[in-house]
């Protein structure tokens, strides 16, 4: 049994309020959760409208599957409109 965890810091562009950030983060979190079967939550920078920090975890028998899933999630975020991955840390053990 392998466990993977990731921390992603995302820069947001074009938002004028925390209400807009909340709407965007909910849509993004729900989309990632449904399409990749991971646990995901906003874990930091809740008071900032410029950044979104997500924590992601996943359990699998295959380390490569966890690694590929985290890469797919990073690409999904990177190609999202008005989003840029600033930093990502991954651990798989």
What are 47-69's pLDDT values in tens digits? 888 899 999 999 999 999 999 99
Predicted TM-score (pTM) of this structure: 0.84
Distance CA 76, CA 49 (A): 20
Written as six digits, the tokens of 2 are 């392998």
The whole domain housing 84 covers 2-92
Q: Give 22-41 pLDDT, tens digit per residue.
A: 998 999 999 999 999 899 99
**Number of structural domains the chain divides into:** 1
**Residue 63's domain is classified under what CATH number?**
3.30.70.1120
Distance CA 75, CA 38 (A): 15
């Amino acid at each position: 049994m392998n466990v993977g965890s990731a921390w992603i810091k995302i820069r947001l562009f074009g938002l004028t309020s925390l209400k807009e950030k909340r709407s965007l983060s909910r849509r993004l979190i729900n989309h990632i959760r449904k399409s990749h079967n991971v646990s995901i939550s906003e874990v930091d920078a809740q008071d900032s409208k410029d950044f979104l920090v997500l924590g992601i975890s996943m359990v699998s028998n295959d380390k490569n599957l966890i690694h590929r899933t985290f890469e797919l999630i990073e690409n999904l975020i990177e190609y999202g409109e008005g989003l840029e991955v600033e930093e990502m840390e991954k651990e798989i053990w």
